[in-house]
Amino acid sequence: MMKPTIATRFQARLDERRAQSLYRQRPLALSPQQPIMQINGLPMVNFCSNDYLGLASDPRIKAAVCADNSAGWGAGAAHLVTGHHLHHHLLEDELADWLGVERCLLFSTGYMANLAVQQTLMQTGDLILGDKLNHASLIDGARASGADFKRYPHLDLAALGRRLVASNQPTLIVSDSVFSMDGDLADLVSLQNLAKTHQAWLMIDDAHGVGVLGEQGRGSFSHYGLAISADTILVGTFGKAFGTTGAFVAGSTVLIESLIQFARPFIYTTAMSPMNALATREALKLVKQGNDLRAQLQANILQFREGAQQIGLNLLDSASPIQPVILHQADTALAWSEALKQKGFWVAAIRYPTVAKNQARLRITLSAAHSAEQIEDLLQVLNDLMVW
């Protein structure tokens, strides 16, 4: 029997994706991340970025990096070899103080952090219970852990409770705080109560909450007035509200030391750039002082939602910067996205398998850096599309 080549295994699948309007392509940015960008050589108003506070191109962050010559471009090695720079160390301490936890640990990406936590903490014979709409990295981390993995219907705490009652295994509850495709919030109060009642551990990915929600932007736990307990794991990222790159895990000293000793995605990879750690330290200062930015972001969200409802767009119930417009069919979402590009607005079409079949959408994300005029202009083009 002939063994397959790469082409014979994948070409038909690639062709099928094109035929189903599911093929993905990378747009080419030719300018810094900001509301008005050069994308594929054309000026666009960008409504796709997760740069919620507009810090990705903030000159204060650039100035801090340029003024400090103690950090090089590359870390050169893993944290446990020679890659752990003073700026990494200070960033971890500053994050822990800000969040009110014992320790924090840096990772190069949120995906790596989510893999590391679940692979390290959970093992064969354990149970992971995850929300149906959790981010792909949370799903992949659970699958790679060796533990039993079951998903409960989105935000269905009664179903989660039944699974907890039925289990006598060591259990980890895993959920996003703000769901990346729907923009809605998990009920952390109830999740924490369920975890405590059933002696489960709780892991929350706060990628879209840190910097945006809570006092000083401390995130979803602060938003709900909760403390992070000893058996709670918080994951946050810097590539969104902080405007830099990378991620962290926050929690108890035992948690962090366990990850340092046993987490393969931490041990066997080069540390993030020391310059990025320095940039993120400066971004943390701006996030702490960013109440005006968060207020502007909330005003922009309100303006968009009120305008979208007036013209009859099919919005999901989201109070976050993530505002999905449901169009159902992939070809419709692509057509709307292309029409918006022709008018100078960059809005991505999100399709299967990122979202469920027949749930294709435009995923509009808002930033404090967007002007009221830019939002109004976007709404006008969307209104014109409604009569297609």
Q: Which of 85, 208, 223, 370 is catalytic?
A: 208
Q: How far apart are CA 307 and CA 187, in angstroms?
A: 27
| Tokens linked to 53 | 């506070």
Indicate if 240 belongs to the active site: yes
The alpha carbon torsion through 47, 375, 180, 286 (nearest 10 deg) reads 90
Of the candidates 177, 240, 320, 367, the residue annotated as catalytic is 240
Of 257, 277, 275, the residue nearest 267 (C-alpha)? 257
State yes or no: is 208 an active-site residue.
Answer: yes
Burial of 320 (0-12, 13-18, 19+ CB in 10 A): buried
CB-based burial, 184-214: b 16+ in 10 Å, e otherwise: bbbebeebbebbeebebbbbbbbbbbbbbbb
H or E, element range at 79: none
Ranges assigned E (strand) in the chain: 36-39, 42-46, 103-107, 127-131, 148-152, 171-176, 201-205, 232-237, 247-251, 322-328, 345-346, 349-350, 360-365
Token pair in block for residue 119: 């692979």
Helices (H), 213-273: 220-223, 253-262, 264-267
The yes-or-no answer on residue 89 being catalytic is no
Catalytic hit among 49, 177, 180, 220: 180
Phi, psi of 162 (to 5 degrees): -65, -40
Q: How many other C-beta atoms can be found within 10 angstroms of the C-beta atom of residue 350? A: 21
Pair of tokens at residue 296: 């502007």
For residue 355, CA distances in Å to 309, 326, 361, 362 come to 23, 11, 9, 11
Active site residues: 180, 208, 240
